[in-house]
Amino acid sequence: MLELKHELKLDKSRDEKARMNFVSGLRAHVLNDMASGMRAVYDAEVEPGFRRAAGRAPANGPEVHKAIKPNEYFKFYSSLRVTAQDMVWQSVFPPLERNRTQLKDRAAKLSRRKKLGSLTLKEGFEVPRYVSAIDVHLMAGNYDGEYEAEDLAAGALYDNGLAVFSFGLMGQNLDDIGQSIAGFIRLKFPQLKPAKILDLGCTIGHNTGSWKDQFPQAEVHGIDVAAPCLRYAHARAQAQGRAIHFHQMNAEQLEFPDASFDVVFSSMFLHEVPKKGIEKIIAEAYRVLKPGGLMLHMELPPNGQLSPYEAFYLDWDSAYNNEPFYKPFRDLDPVSVCAKAGFKSKNFLQFVIPSVGWYGEKVWSEAATRPPEVDSDKTGRLTDGIMWYCFGAWK
Ligand SMILES: C[S@@+](CC[C@H](N)C(=O)[O-])C[C@H]1O[C@@H](n2cnc3c(N)ncnc32)[C@H](O)[C@@H]1O
């Protein structure tokens, strides 16, 4: 596990660090080694068995899932992966509980420092039920759980938990997605000089900050419905010297004027929202974009563009990781979703962007000149050699 570096980092004992490292290593083993083993078992036993019975290969992810479900390897993989997911959050609780007061003090101190950006929270804000009613990906209390005044523990849980969860793939600042994508966009579209950038569902602002790094002249805004994450995001940005404006706002009803942003971005956001919400969010993105502006969503790749096994593999979370909106989102056709919101189909775009942290700048920048290869065991998979998928459109 890579240790976080900023001033909100939790103080951990040697045993707590050892536990976190163990959980990170366990996840890396499951998602790299065991995932390869499961694929080999599928190719050698499960797929031939399906063919013998049906006289054809599985046609889609659900057929692969049904065929592999009774397999012992799949059961062991799934059981270990669920356990490791639970252990991610469990490994953060002890240092988080011990540091709660200190964390609030540090955040208060950081916010008294020279104000770079801003934080706007709203009294009586209504968090949508699809956030307030579930513990998504088994994260206790979800993003919005608040248990005391000025609580920011949910933000700290996410930050430290993500570091364990991603076993180094997201980089020290957990911003590999942001750096890979914002940097790629700067490289690919040198004519784009955004004055205002918006990040939807920004959580703790870890990927929002990359847009400020890549486009330092731009005014960067991040919105989310979860107050504890936004408090933490603001303090984190202050600690890192980034000027970002955080607002408590529902992406389905943005409180920004029409045509006010040059870029509207999101990462790992839409798959946690039900279909009706997604449609409203894309329509809002269209409304607040200036003509000629760019909407871009980093996401899991769509099932319609993947082989049956890859579709099954990525949908595992929907079945076993408390991600009820994940598969319905991945079943959508991104071109139609954008078109429904008003974007012209000819203005649709999608990319598969190599992780800049994993591949280095040479391979990453070369990808800007190639068409995307969506169907691969690296696209969207948290595994060594990850590639980030994103889709969007020009207005
Ligand atoms: C998986 S997290 C996003 C992570 C982050 N963007 C990243 O790059 O890793 C989803 C976030 O979306 C927020 N969210 C969910 N529904 C929302 C809505 N309708 N409007 C704004 N934020 C929302 C949640 O509170 C949560 O912080």
CATH number at residue 226: 3.40.50.150
pLDDT recorded at residue 298: 98
Mean of per-residue pLDDT scores for the chain: 96
Q: Nearest to residue 225, comparing CAs of 156, 154, 172?
A: 154
Same domain, residue pair 337 and 220: yes
Work out the average pLDDT over 372-395: 93
- Strand bridging mode 289-299 / 387-394: antiparallel
Distance between Cα 204 and ligand 1 center (Å) = 9
**Model confidence band, residue 31 (pLDDT cutoffs 50, 70, 90):** very high
- 297 within some domain: yes
Q: Is 318 in the pocket of ligand 1 (CB under 6 A)?
A: no
Q: Is the pLDDT of residue 372 over 90?
A: no
Same domain, residue pair 72 and 158: yes
pLDDT digits (tens, 9 = 90+) for 328-366: 999 999 999 999 999 999 999 999 999 999 999 999 999
pLDDT recorded at residue 3: 79
Taking the whole predicted model, whether its pTM rises above 0.95 is answered as: yes
Q: Which atom of ligand 1 is nearest to the CA of 251?
A: 20
Distance between Cα 370 and ligand 1 center (Å) = 30
- 386 within some domain: yes
State the residue for tokens 């409180």: 255
pLDDT recorded at residue 84: 98
Same domain, residue pair 229 and 321: yes
Q: Is the pLDDT of residue 243 over 90?
A: yes
Same domain, residue pair 279 and 190: yes
> Of all protein residues, whose CA lies closest to atom 11 belonging to ligand 1?
201
Work out the average pLDDT over 271-298: 98
pLDDT recorded at residue 267: 98
- 327 within some domain: yes
Q: Is the pLDDT of residue 4 over 90?
A: no
Same domain, residue pair 150 and 198: no
Q: Which domain holds residue 347?
A: 168-394
State the residue for tokens 């062991």: 76
> Of all protein residues, whose CA lies closest to atom 12 belonging to ligand 1?
201
Calculate the CA dihedral of residues 195, 177, 380, 390 and round it to 10 degrees. 10
Same domain, residue pair 31 and 178: no
High-pLDDT (> 90) share of the chain, %: 93
Rounded-to-integer distance, Cα 216 and Cα 297, Å: 21
Same domain, residue pair 192 and 292: yes
Q: Is 272 in the pocket of ligand 1 (CB under 6 A)?
A: yes
Q: Which of 101, 136, 163 is the last residue of a domain?
A: 163
Same domain, residue pair 293 and 385: yes
Rounded-to-integer distance, Cα 291 and Cα 299, Å: 24
pLDDT recorded at residue 389: 96
- 221 within some domain: yes
Pocket test for ligand 1, best of 136, 272, 275, 317 (most atoms within 8 A of CB): 272
Distance between Cα 226 and ligand 1 center (Å) = 8
Work out the average pLDDT over 282-296: 98
Same domain, residue pair 233 and 152: no
Same domain, residue pair 157 and 206: no
- 154 within some domain: yes
Q: Which of 163, 186, 218 is the last residue of a domain?
A: 163
**Cβ–Cβ contacts within 10 Å for residue 277, how many?**
18
Q: Is 68 in the pocket of ligand 1 (CB under 6 A)?
A: no
- 149 within some domain: yes
Q: Is the pLDDT of residue 1 over 80?
A: no
pLDDT recorded at residue 137: 93
Q: Is 385 exposed, middle or buried (0-12, 13-18, 19+ CB in 10 A)?
A: middle
- 7 within some domain: no
> Of all protein residues, whose CA lies closest to atom 8 belonging to ligand 1?
267
Identity of residue 358? W
**Model confidence band, residue 5 (pLDDT cutoffs 50, 70, 90):** confident
Q: Is 259 in the pocket of ligand 1 (CB under 6 A)?
A: no
pLDDT recorded at residue 193: 96
Q: Is the pLDDT of residue 275 over 90?
A: yes
Same domain, residue pair 109 and 257: no
Distance between Cα 265 and ligand 1 center (Å) = 12
Q: Is 356 exposed, middle or buried (0-12, 13-18, 19+ CB in 10 A)?
A: buried
Pocket test for ligand 1, best of 135, 169, 225 (most atoms within 8 A of CB): 225
Work out the average pLDDT over 374-389: 92
Same domain, residue pair 66 and 174: no
Q: Is the pLDDT of residue 51 over 90?
A: yes
**Model confidence band, residue 115 (pLDDT cutoffs 50, 70, 90):** confident
Distance between Cα 201 and ligand 1 center (Å) = 3
In the structure encoding, which two tokens stand for residue 355, read together? 């992780």
Q: Is 280 helix (H, G, I), strand (E, B) or coil?
A: helix
Number of domains making up the chain: 2
pLDDT digits (tens, 9 = 90+) for 177-200: 999 999 999 999 999 999 999 999
Q: Is 274 in the pocket of ligand 1 (CB under 6 A)?
A: no
pLDDT digits (tens, 9 = 90+) for 206-223: 999 999 999 999 999 999
